[in-house]
């Protein structure tokens, strides 16, 4: 669990460092036109910029979530490899974004992966930009849900 969390944290911070170094604020680099690009967006909110400009509140929520996960980790399937991987992904992701929120020069999460497409009128629509930490948290939660679903099905059988 700790190894997965450390790898995710490192990858998250390294990719954000590269974005901060190579892209100017609000700069975009199109990789596949009409599908994927790198952006440099700061987010002081949560997913989809919910609670925008509430960075400190979200940092406190992150700390509470991390503390809760550590204290109650035995309620999750931590005895299996997949359970440990899931919690490692979640821990690493939370800590990666938390560091961004608490960083004295940033005070915002750096998002840089953007999937999008063009509407018929030429305007762009897309999924909100995200980062490695966001991906790790979502994948970790999905694994925990899948583990729970498999265990429930096995118990019903």
pLDDT tens across 60-96, in order?
999 999 999 999 988 887 789 999 999 999 999 999 9
pLDDT tens across 24-64, in order?
988 999 999 999 999 999 998 887 777 888 888 999 999 99
pLDDT at 1 over 80: yes
pLDDT at 151 over 90: no
Active-site residue set: 111, 134
Segment 144-155 shows an average pLDDT of: 88
Q: Which pLDDT band holds residue 3 (cuts at 50, 70, 90)?
A: very high
Per-residue CA distances from 101 to 37, 75, 108, 113, 152 (Å)? 24, 28, 5, 18, 37
Taking residue 120's Cβ as centre, other Cβ atoms within 10 Å add up to 5
Distance between CA atoms of residues 85 and 143, nearest Å: 9
Segment 133-145 shows an average pLDDT of: 96
Write the DSSP assignment of 11-26 as a string of letters: HHHHHHHHHHHHS-TT
Angle at 49 between CA 43 and CA 50, to 5 degrees: 135
Q: Which two tokens stand for residue 133?
A: 């930490």
């Amino acid at each position: 669990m700790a190894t997965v969390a450390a790898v995710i944290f490192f990858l998250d911070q390294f990719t954000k460092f590269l974005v901060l170094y190579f892209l100017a604020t609000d700069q975009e680099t199109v990789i596949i036109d009409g599908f994927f690009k790198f952006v440099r967006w700061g987010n002081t909110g949560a997913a989809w910029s919910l609670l925008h400009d509430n960075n400190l509140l979200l940092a406190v929520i992150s700390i509470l979530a991390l503390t809760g996960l550590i204290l109650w980790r035995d309620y999750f399937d931590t005895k299996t490899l997949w359970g440990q991987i899931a919690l490692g992904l979640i821990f690493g992701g939370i800590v990666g974004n938390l560091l961004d929120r608490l960083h004295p020069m940033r005070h915002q999460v750096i998002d840089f992966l953007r999937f999008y497409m063009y509407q018929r009128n030429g305007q762009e629509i897309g999924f909100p930009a995200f980062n490695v930490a966001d991906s790790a948290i979502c994948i970790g939660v999905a694994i925990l849900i899948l583990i729970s679903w498999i265990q429930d099905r096995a118990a019903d059988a």
